[in-house]
Amino acid sequence: MSVRPYYVPVATEEQVFKAAFNQNLSILLKGPTGCGKTRFVEAMAHDMQRPLITVACHDDLTTADLVGRFLLMGGETKWVDGPLTRAVREGCICYLDEIVEARQDTTVVLHPLTDYRRQLPIDRLGLTLDAAPGFCLVVSYNPGYQSVLKDLKDSTRQRMVAIEIDFPPAEIEEKVVAHEAGVDPQLASQLVRLGQAIRRLENVGLREVASTRVLIAAGRLVCEGLPLPVAAKAAVTGPLTDDPVVTAGLSELIDAYFEDE
């Protein structure tokens, strides 16, 4: 058996997930970018011993991309299952990352799957698949995401059980950063302190705040021997903003936090 992906529970999210899984309910994960949604699903898939199929949703994701399509091979047409169909047939956990990015006409295909019917109609094949035991649909959704052009349909939302995941509290985040980046706890706590400060910045031109993910990246750069301020500027400032004024302000902030380094 493989190793369980590293995930430290913050609240009751693990119990809720397992209960929903056992009750064949679909799950809606809400939370900011880089707070650990994907890692959480991986850990849960491991605990529930189900294979995980992840689909990163994007603007032009069509129903055919999820369900499957006919391809022309030689002189014949051949049906190829999409990731969702495969998950339904084999009883996998299907994780649709950033579901709001997908077009609304695409998300409608999930409806019969997410209520009591647990069916996937495939009109091109003229058949309706019943979900195999162990199938679970998990979608993630970032409510504050700045590039959100559309919201999730209410009819879709209400078919799900919602689990809210936020950035973990400082002491847990320190543990996570230390583990994932392989740095000592003291350095992890310095990085987390910086992250917490940046998260308090609002409306200064940052589209997103410093996530646990960028803090881990900074930590990993330090592991390679980079000085802490350099690593933090590369991993935190650069990805967060392109604005020269905000960049300068963030660099100053980093210098203030790591002046002893």
Partner 1 sequence: MGRFELLASAIVGRSVTIERTQEKCGAWTDGKSIFLGPDASETAVLQCVLVQAALLGAGSFEGEILDRLVRSTKLCRRYLFVEGHRALEALEAILPPSARRLSDPGIAALSKSPSDSLAIASGRQVFANPPEAFGMIRPRQIRRRIVAGGSDSAPPQYQPRSPARELLRDLDDEVEDLFEGPDLVSSPIGGGGAIGRVLKRLFRSRPSSKTGPPGADAPTHRSRRGTRVSGNIGLAPATLPESTSGDAFAPRGLTYPEWDVHRGRYRPDWCTVTPVDSPPSAPVIFTLPNVTGIRRSLSHLGVALERRHRQLQGIDIDLDAVVESRVQTMSGSVPEEAVYLDLVRGRRDLGVLVLLDVSGSSGEPSTGSGTVHEQQRKAAASLTVALAELGDRVALYAFRSQGRTAVQVERMKRFDDRMDATVLGRLGASEPGAYTRLGAAIRHGTWLLARESGVSRRLLVVLSDGFAYDHGYEGAYGEADARRALSEARRLGTGCVCLSIGASTDADKLRRVFGTAAHASVSRFEDLPNVITPLFRFALRAAEAQRRKSQHTIRAKERLALEVRSVA
Q: Where does this chain touch partner 1 (CB under 8 A) — which range of 28-36, 107-115, 140-148, 159-167?
A: 140-148
Alpha-carbon dihedral of residues 71, 72, 76, 82, nearest 10 degrees? -10
- Is residue 79 a contact point for partner 1 (CB under 8 A)? no
- Is residue 190 a contact point for partner 1 (CB under 8 A)? yes
Is the Cβ of residue 33 or residue 62 nearer to partner 1 in the bound state? 62
Going by C-alpha positions, the residue among 207, 215, 203, 202 that lies closest to residue 167 is 215
Report, in angstroms and rounded to the nearest whole number, the Rg of the chain calculated over CA atoms: 21
Is the Cβ of residue 46 or residue 69 nearer to partner 1 in the bound state? 69
Which own/partner pairs from 76-85 qualify as long-range (CB within 8 Å, at least 24 positions apart)?
79/124, 79/125, 83/53, 83/55, 84/55, 84/109, 84/113, 84/120, 85/120, 85/122, 85/129
- Is residue 205 a contact point for partner 1 (CB under 8 A)? yes
The Cα 121–Cα 77 span in angstroms is 20
Is the Cβ of residue 20 or residue 177 nearer to partner 1 in the bound state? 177
Q: Where does this chain touch partner 1 (CB under 8 A) — which range of 5-13, 112-120, 133-141, 189-197?
A: 189-197
Smallest gap, in angstroms, from Cβ of residue 77 to partner 1? Answer: 6
DSSP 5: P
Smallest gap, in angstroms, from Cβ of residue 194 to partner 1? Answer: 8
Smallest gap, in angstroms, from Cβ of residue 259 to partner 1? Answer: 6
Near partner 1 in 96-125, by CB under 8 A: 103, 124
Smallest gap, in angstroms, from Cβ of residue 114 to partner 1? Answer: 22
Smallest gap, in angstroms, from Cβ of residue 248 to partner 1? Answer: 7
Question: Measured in whole angstroms, how far is the alpha carbon of residue 6 from the centre of its chain?
Answer: 15
As beta bridge partners, residue 120 has 129
Near partner 1 in 9-68, by CB under 8 A: 59-60, 62-65
CB 137 within 8 A of CB 89: no
Work out the angle between the directed axes of helices 13-22 and 37-48 (0-180°, nearest 10). 50
Q: Which residues bind partner 1 (CB under 8 A)?
A: 59-60, 62-65, 69-70, 72, 75, 77, 103, 124, 146-151, 170, 190, 193, 196-198, 200-205, 243-246, 248-250, 252-253, 256-257, 259-260
